[in-house]
């Protein structure tokens, strides 16, 4: 279940306790939580995380296959979430405590910073192995958030990056053990919380304007 808790200036948004795939209901819950954060006054920041084995395994392909008429809307809503996180008017840090695959990895990349567990869990873009091409918006997001050589490797080889590997190539800005990860992410978020506000949102929207345009109108 998606859950939002406040720790001082930092809101911790737990995506859920399963594979945290982007079912329409989960997307609604995540957006409702972000609405609550946006409405809060004063310094603020967001840490997203999961519970157990998964941060997020991405698109809910079973639901999309079972509901083909609504699948394009679901995909558009996922793209819209990426765009919202990219331009969110408060710092956002992904505390990747487990596997972040496919669109789950892309959600993490949309944050201002990624902190990963050092000893377990992978960040991976497996689309080449799944036979599913990246949408233009997805490609733009990945290219904007990773060094191009790393983006090339990640997208064309489906390499699984553990925490230390991700840190070495610039995917993760911080790594920590299981017990310390959330604490580290909250501390980093708190350091940035005073930057929250419309100006931060406008700066991020300008910085990623072309990516956001692809995500919201080019898929």
Query: Which tens digit of pLDDT belongs to each residue from 33-65?
Result: 999 999 999 999 999 999 999 999 999 999 999
The stretch 61-78 carries a mean pLDDT of 94
- What is the distance in angstroms between the CA of the first residue and the CA of the last residue of the chain? 29
Q: CA-CA distance, 185 to 219, in Å (whole number)?
A: 32
State whether the Cα torsion 86-190-11-39 is positive or negative: negative
Q: CA-CA distance, 9 to 12, in Å (whole number)?
A: 10
Q: Does position 26 have pLDDT exceeding 60, yes or no?
A: yes
The stretch 125-149 carries a mean pLDDT of 97
pLDDT band at 212 (very low <50, low <70, confident <90, very high): very high
Give the architecture (CATH level 2) of 3-217.
Alpha-Beta Complex (3.90)
pLDDT band at 1 (very low <50, low <70, confident <90, very high): confident
- What is residue 219's predicted lDDT score, i.e. its pLDDT? 43
Q: Does position 218 have pLDDT exceeding 70, yes or no?
A: no
The stretch 188-198 carries a mean pLDDT of 98
Q: How confident is the prediction for the chain on average, in pLDDT? A: 96
Beginning with the edge strand found earlier in the chain, give each strand of the sheet holding 10-14 in spatial order: 3-7, 10-14, 45-49, 92-96, 113-117, 174-176
Query: Which tens digit of pLDDT belongs to each residue from 138-182?
Result: 999 999 999 999 999 999 999 999 999 999 999 999 999 999 999
Domain ranges of the chain: 3-217
The stretch 20-31 carries a mean pLDDT of 97
Percent of the chain with pLDDT over 70: 99
């Amino acid at each position: 279940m998606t859950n939002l808790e406040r720790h001082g200036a930092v809101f911790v948004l737990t995506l859920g306790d399963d594979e945290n795939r982007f079912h329409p209901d989960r997307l609604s819950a995540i957006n409702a939580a972000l609405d609550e954060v946006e409405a809060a006054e004063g310094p603020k920041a967001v840490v997203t995380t999961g519970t157990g084995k998964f941060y997020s395994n991405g698109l809910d392909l079973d639901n999309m296959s079972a509901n083909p008429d609504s699948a394009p809307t679901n995909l558009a809503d996922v793209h819209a979430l990426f765009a919202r996180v990219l331009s969110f008017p408060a710092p956002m840090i992904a505390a990747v405590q487990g596997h972040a695959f496919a669109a789950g990895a892309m959600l993490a990349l949309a944050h201002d910073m990624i902190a990963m567990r050092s000893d377990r869990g992978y960040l991976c873009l497996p689309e080449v192995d799944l036979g599913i091409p990246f949408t233009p918006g997805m490609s733009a997001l990945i290219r904007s958030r990773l060094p191009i050589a790393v983006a090339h490797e990640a997208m064309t080889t489906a390499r699984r990056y553990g925490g230390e590997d991700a840190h070495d190539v610039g995917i993760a800005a911080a790594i920590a053990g299981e017990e310390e990860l959330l604490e580290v992410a909250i501390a980093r978020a708190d350091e940035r919380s005073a930057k929250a506000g419309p100006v931060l949102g406008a700066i991020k929207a300008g910085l990623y304007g072309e990516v956001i345009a692809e995500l919201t109108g080019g898929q």
